[in-house]
Amino acid sequence: MNGYQQGFRFVSSFDFGGQESASKPPQAICKPLQASVKKQTTMKKRTLQILTIGFLMTGLIGCGGVSQNEYDTLKAENEKLKQEIEDLKFGPDKLLSQAKLYIDSKDFNSAKTELLNLIEKHPTSLQATEAKQLISIADDGIKEKQLAEEKAKLEKEKAEKERLANATKKMRVKVDDMNDITWYYDKTSPQYTNYNGFYAYIGTSKGSKPWLRLVIQYAADDWLFIEKYIIKVDGQTYNITEDSYGEIKTDNGSGGIWEWLDRKVGYSEYQIIKAVANGKDVKIRFNGKDYYKDKTITEQQKAALKNVLDAYEALGGTTDF
């Protein structure tokens, strides 16, 4: 047997079921192949048929044992199967069914896309006629959803404005006529330096934007001579030290001492205030020259910080420090 005969025998010895069959000439193998292809009804089988036909076409051409007519027939069958698979994937029934599912699930944008795709691909089909009617339902759904989202957005903005407007009502106001400054403090913040405290307050003046200040106060019986504050918020550590010598003030009286820091808020201080206000487990260490003292930032102090930040925003304060 020569190479030509051996190559053709290999190709022709397998039918669609994958079983070996008796050797047949090219003319005998084409008709059974075509009959078997037409019997397949599912996409999976049609895909297998396309692969089989492609294999046979390649094998028969390589063997030189197929006529042009037989080749053209196989090619036509192959193209027909491709079209049938395309219809199974993107046929009018499939597209219409998918669009209806989108409508049922309130996904109107996807439904409209599917309906327009149907009309474009199958403009003369009965399904396209129904699709044109369903588009109005999809459009109504899209519009209704947009109106609902816009309403929710407006209500959220209104609630936020009311929240910020009410924030200043929670403030204790102190007016410095000599310097033309109005100070805003949370009502729960200490009014005097001989009390423990961790709080922020707001300054406003005509012709300028509001600004924030941060105060940390320590009151006890014995001096620490504080050099640094270490603040731990949910495992994250922040440090505050003097910007200049003597920034941390001291005083005493009636058997007690107090040490405090009062500084204008910059970027780093603002980040610390936000972290403390929103933290769950917040502690501060007053680190002195020889000794230190730890305290827990209370929920009341956190709430006061949040109130001040809200009021700061309501008064027009910015965070671009």
| 272-318 pLDDT per residue, tens | 999 999 999 999 999 999 999 999 999 999 999 999 999 999 899 99
The predicted model gives 142-159 an average pLDDT of 94
Instruction: Check residues 16 and 47 and name the one with the higher pLDDT.
Output: 47
Residues 110, 15 share a domain:
no
> Do 34 and 63 reside in the same domain of the chain?
yes
Out of 36, 56, 90, pick the residue that ends a domain.
90
For residues 20 and 58, membership in a common domain is answered with yes
Q: Are residues 205 and 300 in the same domain?
A: yes
Q: 190-201: per-residue pLDDT in tens?
A: 999 999 999 999
Q: Which of 162, 187, 213 is the last residue of a domain?
A: 162
User: Are 107 and 85 within one domain?
Assistant: no
Same domain, 310 and 196: yes
Domain assignment of residue 132, yes or no: yes
Judged against a pLDDT cut of 80, whether residue 156 lies above it is answered with yes
Q: pTM of the prediction?
A: 0.55
For residues 131 and 223, membership in a common domain is answered with no
Same domain, 16 and 66: yes
169 within some domain: no
Farthest-apart Cα atoms in the chain, separation: 120
> What integer pLDDT is reported at residue 76 of this predicted model?
73
Last residue of a domain, one of 90, 118, 152: 90
Segment 9-42, tens digit of pLDDT:
333 333 434 444 444 444 443 443 443 344 344 5
At 69-106, the pLDDT tens digits run 766 776 776 666 566 555 555 688 999 999 999 999 99
156-169 b/e with 16+ CB inside 10 Å = b? eeeeeeeeeeebbe
Please give the residue range of the domain that contains residue 242: 177-314
Same domain for 121 and 80: no
Q: Does 102 lie in the same domain as 228?
A: no
182 shares its domain with 227: yes
Q: How many domains does the chain have?
A: 3
Residue at 201 is within a domain: yes
CA distance 288 to 257: 14
Does residue 129 share a domain with residue 227? Answer: no
Please state, for a pLDDT cut of 90, what percent of the chain lies above it. Answer: 65
Mean pLDDT, the chain, as a whole number? 83
258: in domain: yes
